[in-house]
A and B are shown apart, each in its own frame.
Chain A
Amino acid sequence: MSVESCIARDHVEAELEAAQAWARRHNWALRWEPDVLRLCAISFHPHCGRVLEIRGDFDSYRAMPPAWRFFAPNTDEEGAHLFPKGGPDGSIFHGNLVICAPWNRLAYKGYANLHGDWDLSAWSSIHGTMSQARTVADMLSEIDVNLNTSPGMSG
């Protein structure tokens, strides 16, 4: 299911203008690292104020969705204190510290396995009442929407 890096890079870069426009409207900072196919998004938790770095790894995009993780800014540190707590009305921020949505590779079987019933290769056509996002900017938007209802960090 993997795709060549140059193809994945082209797919992401075709969506970057809209993602940058979205980021400007929402006061996020984006850094695209084409050599490693990684997008780093910097924002802060709207309630507790913690600075967040959300990284998306886009190898094999769009054959597979990106893998999204939260880190301490400019480090490889992860943990409950860096992962938002889910809000009260059904959040993508899962208690096992993974974004649970069809547009996050880590939710699938073989990764965190939150949804063994989802087909990774069909990620962009999984429908329902769960969070939907088909482009980079839509994914950032979904993270932002859920951050706004998150009461704080998980740990």
Chain B
Amino acid sequence: MNEPSNNNHEIEVVVYAPSQPDPKTFKFQADELVGVAAKAAAAAFGYADGNPSFQREDGKVLDRTITLKAADVRIGEKLELVDAGGGV
């Protein structure tokens, strides 16, 4: 079972990226912005650009402008790297 995040501590999450079959594990600070954390994860998966964010298992995409703590990201949570770019 995933644990609730505390104050500013490390949150370890499992991140999948669409372009690769296997996930990677990341540790982020709880007060890190979702967009910053997603950008770091995207770089690790080889994505050079875009508007990365994380998608929860229920399909919801996290707001890139809030912290992981504010987004209530849980220790051990599985997240999917997605592009949060909009329509044109």
Residues of A within 8 A of B (CB): 15, 17-22, 25, 46, 86, 89-94, 100-101, 114-115, 127-135, 137-138, 140-142, 144-146, 148
Contacts and interface: CB of A to CB of B under 8 A. Distances in A.
A117 B85 CA distance: 18
Contacts of B16: 22, 25
A55 B77 CA distance: 32
Interface string B62-84: 00000000000000000010111
Nearest to A141: B18
Contact of B19 (A101, A138, A144): A138
Given A127-B49, A148-B59, A148-B61, A18 B18 contact: yes
A58 to B, nearest CB: 16
A114 B88 CA distance: 9
19 contacts: A17-B21, A18-B18, A20-B21, A21-B22, A25-B16, A89-B86, A90-B87, A91-B86, A94-B87, A101-B88, A127-B49, A132-B50, A132-B85, A134-B19, A137-B18, A138-B19, A145-B55, A145-B61, A148-B59
Contacts of B22: 21
A92 B87 contact: yes
A133 to B, nearest CB: 6
A93 B47 CA distance: 24
B8 interface: no
For A90, A91, A137, A141, the residue with the greatest tally of chain B CB atoms inside 10 Å of its CB is A141
Given A18-B18, A135-B18, A145 B82 contact: yes
Contact of B21 (A18, A86, A89, A131): A18
Contacts of A142: 82-83
Nearest to B52: A132
Nearest to B88: A130
For B49, B80, B86, the residue with the greatest tally of chain A CB atoms inside 10 Å of its CB is B86
Contact of A101 (B49, B51, B87): B87
Interface in B36-66: 47, 49-51, 55, 59-61
